[in-house]
Amino acid sequence: MTLVPILRCATLALLLAGTGGALAQSGSYQQPGQRDLRAYPPGYYPGKLVQPAQPQPQQGFSLRRFFGVPDEPPPAARAPIARPRKSAPPAAAVAKQEKPKVDPSTHVVVFGDALAGYARQGLDAHFAENQDVAVVPKTRDVSLIRTDAADWPNFIKATLDGGQKATVAVVMLGTSDRQAIREGEETVEPLTDRWKELYRQRVDAIVNTFRERKIPFVWIGLPPMKNSKATEDLVAINEIYKESVQRGGGAYVDIWPGFVDDENRYTAEGPDVDGEPAKLRTNEGMFFTRAGARKVAFFADTEIKRILGQGGTATAAVPRPADITPADGSSAPSIEAAIPAPPDAAAPVTLPSKPLIGPVLPLTRQDVAPGGTLVSAPPKLTGDSAYTVQRALRVGIAPGSRPGRADDFRWPHP
């Protein structure tokens, strides 16, 4: 037997013995009832503070010492990492609530169904900065058809008689009124002559309620819908609103031009109150977006301001000299009264200064007449000129030249 196998066996035996000693010195064994300090950070012990144990030199077999290589110094004890405590999640942001208006002098009360809720939203945003005007919603999802004829008038009477202040009332109804009306045992189909007569009676009942209480009111017409059949029916219903409201002394607001395109067709997008392009209608083609609600309020604001400005203040008239009665009761006027007053000194006339720039107007804004009323539709060409324009711009057929005009290219010239 050679010396090499003997050395290999001795080395293997020493390695096994050194591994067992290292395990014994590592402290992995724990007697019952004792706590394992390794589960806690250095310097901490349940109930008291202790100093961390210094590392002891290993007593078992080491290949480094066997071959004369010095042992590496033990790694320094790492200080515990102070992790920041997780703070509680921030509380949910509380929605900004508008301050209630204190004792406003003007109360705009909005009556109607779902569409009236959007009109109220637009009016509330329109008068948000005016602390003297309060918008009061009195809307409910009740049709003018599916209920008793006196249901809506009784609701308005109960609201006004219950102490609700109302400077001006705003009405918007008819979202789901394209239905048959029950008349006794019979059913009257919508948009027939009898249906229009019954429906006009229900509208008149609401109009008379405001007229009896001498409350000015504004009735907002219905907008076009995405459904073409519904749009055709709403045109006839709006005519009933307009005729009944104007006959009853109210103000009818036609918002139709603000929600159609140049061809008088329904459009979901268009200019907002600032003239910027925006989405005005929701996806189902019936209700309004926030920008659309603001536009409805913009249409109604002209009539509301007109109604609020009707009161005015009385001014004292200057008495004429002939109407002055003498103090002694005689009918003859005094000499001083007969003498005309001297003319006032001429005040210097101040010429208006010319502004540097003119007003900035959006190109897509709605046209407004000089009196403040909205233009119902852009002017349309009629007659022979309309035929020529349509052929040139739509069909692409150029108009014929006239003799002697610049586009007369006949040769030779006649």
DSSP per-residue string spanning 255-314: -GGGGB-TTS-B-SEEE-TTS-EEE-B-TTSSSB-HHHHHHHHHHHHHHHHHHHTSS---
- Give 241's pLDDT tier (boundaries 50, 70, 90): very high
Q: Is residue 365 part of a domain?
A: no
Q: Is residue 36 part of a domain?
A: no
Tell me: pLDDT of 22 over 50: no
pTM for the full model?
0.55
Give the residue among 213, 212, 218 at the shortest CA–CA distance from 306. 218
Tell me: pLDDT of 257 over 60: yes
Q: What is the pLDDT of residues 90-130, one digit of tens each?
A: 444 333 455 667 788 899 999 999 999 999 999 999 998 88
More confident residue, 49 or 225: 225
Q: Is residue 52 part of a domain?
A: no
pLDDT at 278: 94
Q: Is residue 298 part of a domain?
A: yes
The residue range of the domain holding 217 is: 106-308
Q: Is residue 169 part of a domain?
A: yes
Give the residue among 80, 86, 91, 128 at the shortest CA–CA distance from 108. 128
pLDDT at 393: 75
- Do residues 190 and 233 lie in contact, with contact meaning Cβ atoms separated by under 8 Å? yes
Q: Is residue 71 part of a domain?
A: no
Instruction: Give the count of domains, the chain.
Output: 1
Q: Is residue 24 part of a domain?
A: no
For residue 147, the domain's CATH number is 3.40.50.1110
Average pLDDT over residues 131-138: 93
Q: CA neighbours within 13 Å on the CB side: how many for 364?
A: 13
- Give 395's pLDDT tier (boundaries 50, 70, 90): confident
Q: What is the pLDDT of residues 345-365, one digit of tens each?
A: 556 666 667 667 766 767 776
The full 3-state SS of 162-214, as one line of letters, equals CCCCCCEEEEECCCCCCCCEEECCEEECCCCHHHHHHHHHHHHHHHHHHHHCC
- Computed over its alpha carbons, how large is the radius of gyration of the chain? 45
Q: Could you give the angle at the alpha carbon of 132 between the alpha carbons of 127 and 137, nearest 5°?
A: 55
- Give 88's pLDDT tier (boundaries 50, 70, 90): very low
